[in-house]
A and B are shown apart, each in its own frame.
Chain A
Amino acid sequence: MSSTTHDVVEAEREWHRLDPRMLALNISVLAAPLAGFGVTAIVTGGNVPPGVFFSLLSVGAIFVVMMGVGLMRYATTRYRIGEERVELHAGLVFHRRLSIPRDRIRSVDLTANPLHRIFGLSVVKVGTGQNTTSADRSGELSLDAVRRERAEELRLELLRRSPVAATPVSGDTADDEPAARTTSPTEAPAAATGATAAETTIATMNWAWIRYAPLTGWTLVVAAIIVGGAGRVLDWTGVDPYESGLIMAVFTWVRQFSLVVVILVALAAVLVVGVIGATLIFIEGWWGFRLVRESGGSFRVRRGLLTTRSLSLEERRLRGVELVEGLGVRLAKGATTKAIAAGLATTSKDKNKEKDFLLPPAPREEAYRVSAEVLAEETTPLAVTGLARHPRAALRRRLFRAIVPVLLLAAVLAVVRSAVSWMGWLPSWVPPVSLLLLLATIPLAFDAYRNLGHTLAGRYLLARHGTVARHTVALRRTGIIGWTVSRTFFQRRSGLATIAATTGAGSGAYRVYDVDESTGLTFAEQAVPDLLTPFLERDGG
């Protein structure tokens, strides 16, 4: 594909293919097993067990199949950017024809993992405001992958509705990509060179924020992966721990210390690894972070060290912001900020991709400042105080959830220990000691109750909940497209309800949990006048 900028302008309505270099991405399948093979060869001194050869063979077979599939995908995928619509044709057996009206495009997301970057490629995802819960994900158009420069051209092209003067893009991204290109059909390509950026920076990286990294959930996740992964690696390399001299030597050395010391040291080691891992993940994810407002009325978030991510979303698709405070980060007065925007619907598949993050974990004040600027408000609605508290029954529900599972756990452990013969190894003090969990869960229940709240703040609906991760949502009242009131059996008995404002953005529904039914309905009625009114009945007093 030799498309220079000239070609793009002239071939505006031509069909384009993906970049053939996408086929090279398949070597990633081979990398991990080959590395495992190498480790096995070293550990066993060249005496590789036959099982490992077989798994290597099967991986080779998978590689061949994937190359075949990739070739097919390359041969059958083509896309076209027309005046009115963006079209994608793909697939041979399951032929898929996707046609998206250009005015439905809400966001353009460019991602390049290290492998993509080696080959100079980028994945382009075009988000629309469609309901993406359906299995076929028909709302999303994805080009995996195209040339990096082409991706940047597409981004500018797709977010521009009417052809205007070329908007040059500054080349100051972390990887110093010369991204300045024009894509406007009416403008000569020469216009792009040498011009300055027509964008205003809202926030950039402040490396002091790295102090929040060990406080994020990643520390625990990494620690869990290390513990769980160690066994997997042994299994994978085909090394029997009881036969490897090296590992047995380590075991013998460890056993001279007392069990308590070994456990404490192991825990500390795992924790240190977790902290290092969380810090590395933070650095990788937020390297070169920059949030800017572009001249065309859109925001752009760029970040990433190895995998570079670029997300552009239209300002008029913004429906609100969400503040997420994990327990550790919250104790350090920090928070992460997310955009609630149409076209950024977070399906369960994308949930952990942090696509909608506007800001890394940062001091709450910074989160407030950035959210105010993004929402174009004087002060951020997120900082509004005096949220209406929820009924005492909501606390009872939280205490029930904190206490009953722990009691059940203790009871089950006690019964199992005495009734099931092969569980006899369980020390007798385990069931009563498990009750100590209550020391953690009961305070969390009180905190969860204290965090419940809702209010109206000007153009926004404000709702807060959660303890391990406290969520504060500021949703534009004009973005609310319906209500869902849900009540479990126990909520009905205590006069409570969970009221969700549905919206065509973010997770699709933002909830006010365990509010008094009458208060909550009045609140919903005030938030969006007239919508709920015909379905309410009042009895006075």
Chain B
Amino acid sequence: MLASRTDAGWNERVNTTTVRLRPPRHLVERRAVRLWTAQALALVVPPALVLGVLTALLAPARLWLGVGLLVVLLFGLPYIFVMPHWRFRVHRWEATDDAVYTASGWLFQEWRVAPMSRIQTVDSVRGPLQRLFRLASVTVTTASAAGALKIEGLDQGVAKDLVERLTEVTQATPGDAT
């Protein structure tokens, strides 16, 4: 999946071995696909409906409204049907004794590593939609202002255990994590 085509001659340090990030160990819950689908539907369906109704009703502006509807569907349908499954293949997480490691995204993918010693807070969030699918997400913040590590689509029990474990480890670490 991560097959890389390198222009080795352009690097000053030419490596004979290729180094890659390995995927984190744990998958998220299969139910997360349904959660992401629901979120995508909530985002795409309302504007598509509005544009569709207006296209049907307003004859003079039919061309432009139709174009708008087409654009929404062009991006919206793949978002509803492709994004959730793609995400499920990418989203993974892992917590070793020393660090938390996450992978997320679909078109744009991101891998984050934060050492246990630098973790400041650990939160678990269950939104109304997440509760519907008995899911929770865990957010791990560090002193960096550039954003937290977020693990979406965990089973509620798994999330609870993870928060407890991470809280325990970070409380045992001295210092103020900057």
Contact = CB atoms under 8 A, between A and B. Distances in A.
A510 to B, nearest CB: 9
Contacts, number: 175
Interface string A504-520: 11011100000011110
Contact of B178 (A132, A481, A519, A531): A481
A488 B109 CA distance: 6
User: Secondary structure of the B side of the interface?
Assistant: loop
Contacts of B146: 484, 500, 502, 507-509
A481 B108 contact: no
Nearest to A346: B145
A502 B20 contact: no
Contacts of A386: 12
A131 B177 CA distance: 11
Contacts of A393: 7
Interface string A330-366: 0000000000001001110000000000000000000
A532 interface: yes
A391 B7 contact: yes
Interface of B: 2, 4-7, 10-13, 15-22, 24, 94, 96, 98-99, 101, 105, 107-115, 118, 120, 141-148, 176-178
Given A129-B143, A484-B111, A534-B96, A390 B10 contact: yes
Residue among A393, A489, A504, A509 with the highest chain B CB neighbour number at 10 A: A504
B15 A481 contact: no
Contacts of A492: 2, 109
A114 interface: no
Contacts of B2: 492, 517
Given A482-B114, A532-B113, A537-B20, A129 B13 contact: no
Contact of A495 (B4, B12, B178): B4
Contact of B110 (A129, A347, A485, A532): A485
B11 A519 contact: yes
A536 B144 contact: no
A535 B92 CA distance: 13
A170 interface: no
Contact of B21 (A345, A389, A485, A505): A485
Interface in A64-120: 103-104
A345 B147 CA distance: 12
Given A535-B101, A538-B17, A392 B143 contact: no
A539 interface: yes
A388 B12 contact: yes
A117 to B, nearest CB: 31
Contacts of B4: 495, 516-518
Contacts of B113: 482-484, 531-532, 535
A131 B120 contact: yes
Nearest to A132: B145
Given A504-B178, A518-B19, A534 B99 contact: yes
A388 B144 contact: no
A506 to B, nearest CB: 8
B123 to A, nearest CB: 11
A487 B111 CA distance: 9
A484 B110 CA distance: 7
B16 A489 contact: no
B14 to A, nearest CB: 9
Residue among A481, A492, A541 with the highest chain B CB neighbour number at 10 A: A481
Nearest to A495: B4
A400 to B, nearest CB: 16
6 contacts: A391-B11, A481-B118, A486-B109, A493-B5, A508-B147, A538-B19
A482 B6 contact: no
B115 A531 contact: yes
A522 interface: yes
Contacts of B20: 517-518, 521, 536-539
Given A522-B15, A532-B113, A538-B19, A130 B7 contact: no
Contacts of A200: none
A421 B140 CA distance: 55
A494 B115 CA distance: 29
A345 B120 CA distance: 16
B149 to A, nearest CB: 8
A521 B119 CA distance: 22
